[in-house]
Amino acid sequence: MSSDSKKILIATSGGDCPGLNAVLRAFVKSATNEPGWEVWGSRQSFNGLLGIPQELIRLDRKTVSGIHVKGGTILGTTKESGPFNWPVKRADGTTEYVDRSDEFVRICQFAGFSAIVNIGGDGSQRMTLALHKKGLPVIGIPKTIDNDLEATDVTFGFQSAVDVATEAVDRLVSTAESHNRIQILELMGKHSGWITLHAAIAGGAEVCLIPEIPYDITKISAFLRRRFDGGKRFAVIAVAEGAIPLGAGPAEARGVKAHPNISIKLSGAAERFAGELKNAGFEGIRCTILGHVQRGGTPVPFDRILGAQYGIKAFEMVKNGEFGRMASCQNGQMTSVPLEEATRSLKRVPLDGALIQTARNINICFGD
Ligand code: F6P
């Protein structure tokens, strides 16, 4: 790989998220503000480079013009394949995953990319780190609506997801009150309850169940009985998809095989909790699963701005040769951290943090 090359490969990997296009636009604008730099986008994460035919697109000012307001990613993305886990269909219809990472390195070197930028969440950044260990000049940009990436204070997409989740709580409050019902809202967050906690506080849910705090149904029943006896005969309950009853595990999707890139597939946290409430004698229960609505659509202004800051920082890192690192936002400042640090563990809601305390002070029940 020639060190004077000014050719950059960029990809969006893992689940999509509002703000990805704002990052791409700012990155490309920063690069093309300076002479000689060429930015190439790989379609569907790194499939664009490894696939036959290749699907790479030259990203210039025209390609990225006005895209910051759009949801999703103009490059497309995937969770289901990558250089280390490339799916190959066997004759019997099953899928085998093969490691094509050495080939990936050779193709990048042959094409003369002097930097490879991967915008992705926890799993994707582990892939970025593994590519770095194979000698590639990589840079990560953190992305997840779940806000669970370690070593950065915030990720773009999170505020947009909280916006949608809060609107859902708001809407459920009015219908719950009209019918004297218990409305359960299932929100995203396999391992962390950031979206659920924020939406519960902002929307005014009565109960908030997050993966960090195993819940005890008897405590929630007692809480709801007191509320109902006090005259308020409705409740909105925000449940993270990874919520866990005391002594049990998260609600795993049955019959769905998780891909090697995906830790666990979840499904049914709200339904399971509804069943527990019915068994405890409650009636008039309804469930809403907000699902991918939280990931789609236009980013809120905060995420557009944060996305632009990440894009600009990542290009600065390319110019400085800060490889093997991830752009990070700390105390409102853009900086960078080693990918090892960024992928060491997930950022979960701290139980002694101000946000949990805020929720407790306004009488939100966690079932603990
Ligand atoms: O990783 C982000 C996330 O939004 C999780 O909260 C959620 O469990 C997951 O994606 C679901 O996404 P998909 O259906 O695309 O695998």
Q: Which atom of ligand 1 is nearest to the CA of 144?
A: 2
The pLDDT of residue 236 is above 70: yes
Q: Residue 252 — very low, low, confident or very high, per pLDDT cuts 50/70/90?
A: confident
Read off the pLDDT of each residue in 244-251 and give the average, rounded to a whole number.
93
Q: What is the pLDDT of residue 295?
A: 97
What is the rounded distance in angstroms from the CA atom of residue 49 to the CA atom of residue 108?
8
Q: How far apart are CA 353 and CA 145, in angstroms?
A: 20
Which DSSP category does 39 fall into? E
pLDDT in the model for residue 254 = 72
Q: What is the pLDDT of residue 256?
A: 67
- pLDDT for residue 257: 64
Rounded to an integer, what distance in angstroms lies between the CA atom of residue 76 and that of residue 352? 39
- Ligand 1 atom, smallest distance to 15 CA: 15
Confidence of residue 290 (pLDDT cuts 50, 70, 90): very high
> CB of 211 closer than 6 A to ligand 1?
no
Pocket test for ligand 1, best of 146, 158, 267 (most atoms within 8 A of CB): 146
Which of these, 144, 180, 176, 177, lies nearest to 161 by C-alpha position? 144
Mean pLDDT of 204-219: 98
Task: Give the three-class secondary structure for 184.
Answer: strand
For residue 99, indicate whether it is catalytic.
no
**pLDDT value at 346 more than 90:** yes
Mean pLDDT rounded to a whole number for the chain: 95
Residue 28 CB–ligand 1 contact under 6 Å: no
Locate the ligand 1 atom nearest the alpha carbon of residue 294 and give its number: 4
Task: Please tell me the distance from the alpha carbon of residue 64 to that of residue 67, in angstroms, as a whole number.
Answer: 6
**pLDDT at residue number 59:** 98
The pLDDT of residue 192: 96
pLDDT tens-digit profile of 294-321?
999 999 999 999 999 999 999 999 999 9
pTM listed for this prediction? 0.95
pLDDT band at 211 (very low <50, low <70, confident <90, very high): very high
| Cβ 188 under 6 angstroms from ligand 1 | yes
The four Cα atoms 26, 60, 321, 54 give a dihedral, to 10 degrees, of 120
Task: Verify cis geometry, omega within 30 degrees of 0, for the bond prior to 35.
Answer: no
Q: How many angstroms separate the alpha carbon of residue 16 from the centre of ligand 1? A: 9
pLDDT category, 258, cuts 50, 70, 90?
low
Q: What pLDDT, in 10s, does the model give residues 29-55?
A: 999 999 999 999 999 999 999 999 999
pLDDT band at 5 (very low <50, low <70, confident <90, very high): confident
Give the residue, by CA position, lying nearest to ligand 1 atom 10: 15
d(CA 73, CA 285): 37
List the beta bridge partners of residue 39: 8, 59
Calculate the alpha carbon distances from 116 to 132, 360, 361 in Å. 10, 44, 46
> Which residue of the set 4, 92, 99, 146 is catalytic?
146
Tell me the C-alpha distance between 229 and 351, whole Å. 30
Q: Which pLDDT does position 122 carry in this prediction?
A: 93
Q: What percent of the chain has pLDDT over 70?
A: 97
Encoded amino acid at 101, one letter:
S
Residue nearest to atom 15 of ligand 1 (CA): 15
What gap in Å lies between CA 42 and CA 33, rounded to an integer? 21
Read off φ and ψ for residue 173, nearest 5 degrees: -60, -45
CA atoms within 13 A on the CB side of 101: 14
pLDDT in tens, 114-142: 999 999 999 999 999 999 999 999 999 99
Nearest CA to 270 out of 256, 246, 287 is that of: 287
148 pLDDT above the threshold of 60: yes
**Mean pLDDT, range 262-281, rounded to an integer:** 92
Q: How confident is the model at residue 4 (pLDDT cuts 50, 70, 90)?
A: confident
Place of tokens 């035919």: 53
Residue 114, φ and ψ in degrees, nearest 5: -90, -10
Q: What residue ranges define each of the domains in the chain, with the CATH number in brackets?
A: 6-156+299-342 (3.40.50.450), 161-295 (3.40.50.460)
